[in-house]
Every structure is written in structure tokens, then in C-alpha cells.
Structure 1
Amino acid sequence: MRTGERRAWRPTAALPAVVAAALYGWAHWYFAGPNPPSAAVAVAVGAVLCAAACALYFVRTHGSGALFGALFLAVGLLLTVTTADRAAGRAEVAVCVVREVHSQVQGSYGEGGPPAKTVHRFALDCPGGYPDELRDDRLLAERGEEIEVAYDARRRVSPEPAGRTSAWVPAVWAALLIAGATLISVRSPAPGA
């Protein structure tokens, strides 16, 4: 009987890591591959993969942890895509002049919500005309000042301030959440137990 119980949970326990690896590969191909799919196809396939994985996980994981495991898996998969985005090449760097700065305070709604935050949109004059805009939550430069911007010449990922792109933080959080989903699946009771 013990052998049958192990067979019941092993595929589900492997699901988070397998899906995260597949989704990372898909997102990396879209963000950095030589012949990527269109944005609509990339988003549709990624969304279907995430939804199907979470639904299968929820159905196959038994006990009260199924909901939390599926949530961990969903957020871990979103962070996996963020990791692929951050790891994608923004190989070009341009020194741009800030033409205009538009700041907008995004309020918080409801009690206990996150505090209001200010988003700055920088209209840029860059050599070659691209990038022409940069958004950040920090005031990086004033009007007329120069700023270094890292960007992808193929325009698949958003431009960012040079030197700020790091995939480590989302990668660590994704790994922790995927590991949490795996642990919940391993510790879930056997079917019918």
C-alpha cells in the first residue's frame, strides 16, 4: 500500500518544478530568442500553461494545503516569467536627455492597502530615437539632465535604467514559492485517506 501512495503524489510533487522550467524556457525564448512567437501567442500559451498547471495541482493535491499550494505555484510561476524578463538581454545602452518628466501619484484604495506611490514617466531624446520613454518609481533625473538607459534593440522588453536589471530577487522568490508548493504536495494526504 505504501508504494501505491508514493505513486499517487510523485507526479504532482514534480509538477511545480517541471512547469516552472517549461514556463521559463517559453518566456526566455520570447524575450531573448532569435525567432520568438508573437506577443499574443506568447501570452496565450503562458497563461494556458499557468492556469492548467494550477488547476491540475489543485485537483491532484489533497487536503487543506491544496489551495495554498496552488496559490504558491501561481505566484511562483509569475515570478518565473519576471525572472526571464529580467534575465533577457538589454544589451544596448544609450545616454539620453530627459525631455520631460511626468509624475503621477497612484493612490491606495481601501483600509490597510499599500501606501500611495509616485510613478515617474520620463520622455527621452535618445540617439536613434529609441527608447523614447522610461518609467520608474524613483526620480532618476530632472528635465534637461542625461540618463543611461539599458534597452533591447528588438523592443521585446521594457527599457530600464542602466545597471538596475537583476534577475536574482525574483528568481529566489520564485524558487522559494515553487519549493513551498512542492512541499505541500509531498505532505498532502494520499487519495482517499
Structure 2
Amino acid sequence: MLQIRADLVEEIMAHAREEHPHEACGMIAGPEGAERPERFFRMRNAAKPSGDAAAEEREQAHRALVLGEAHAEYEGERRSSLTYYTWDVKERLRAQREMDAADEWPVVIYHSHTRSPAYPSQVDIDVASGPANDPRIHYVIVSTRPDAEPRVHGHDLRSFRIVDGVVTEEEVDVVETYMFAHTGADDVPDLG
């Protein structure tokens, strides 16, 4: 089960709405060893057009390598930031250094789907099952499509564990504060 504060859910949704029709992505870090998301990292979707032709060409080459021929298209259309996200490498490394310095880890990795339900695509599953996969991570997906079905806190938001290609949906418990929530001993007020 993912237990997450309401303000973090709203931050995910605000980011997803701001980026729509492009996919949004980011992480929420928490103390190492705890499954308590606390610190929000909005990331830039490197698949989104930047106006820098050389950078876009490098990203497209990277996308072709990562996705391969089998996932290069979505519903007959070449994949783009409308149907795919990838981390900006520099931002991802900066965030990881900040987490390491604070003894944190990425409790939640989130992204939005702009045309499909909040459920992992085969690309999502393949990427989450890669060699750097951490089975503790909660993969949160939100849908910003117009007919999205509200599931959690009024949003089409779902959380999954993805391990070795196996997707397991988990319950999402939205709380106002972690203090006194049933996540183990926690008598320290939230920082945020």
C-alpha cells in the first residue's frame, strides 16, 4: 500500500495538468528505509520538444535505442512526449545527488498518461523492470485524458509495484499528515 499526503497528490496532478498534452514525470523522495514520500522533484520530460535541434536529435536517438522497434509507435503514431517520457539525465543525476546527501531514496516515481488510463504501458513495464530497478519503488501513474475515471482523491491516480515485468496494483491511502498514520512508529511532525 502507498500512503501519501494529499498535498503531494495535488502536486502530482498540478504538474500533470500543466504539462498536458505532454507527459509529466518526477519523483518523490523519502528517508532511506522508510516508505514515506516527502520531498517532491518535478522533472523535465526530455522527450518534450525543446527548440534545440541537436538535443532533440540526441533524445530521439536515445528513445529509439531504449524503445526499440517494437515500441517505437503508439496507436500508429511515432512516440513523442505526448505518449512517452524520459528523464532529463542532468536533472535526474542532480536529484539523485541531493537524495544521497540527505540519505533519501525515490519512494515514488510518477508520470502522466495523456491519452490512456492510469495503468502501466508495456514501455513503462520494460523500463521499470530494467537493471536499475528497485522493487521498493511505488510507480504512480495519473491520467489527464478528458474521460479519466476518478479513483483516488478525485483523480485517475493509481499506484503499482513493477518487479521483473510483473505489475501489481496497490491501494493508495491519501492522508493529511503522516503523524499518527499507521505506517509504523512516527512521532515526528511532517516537514512539509
Name the TM tier (shorter chain): under 0.3
Higher Cα Rg: structure 1 or 2?
A: 1
Q: Which is richer in strand? A: 2
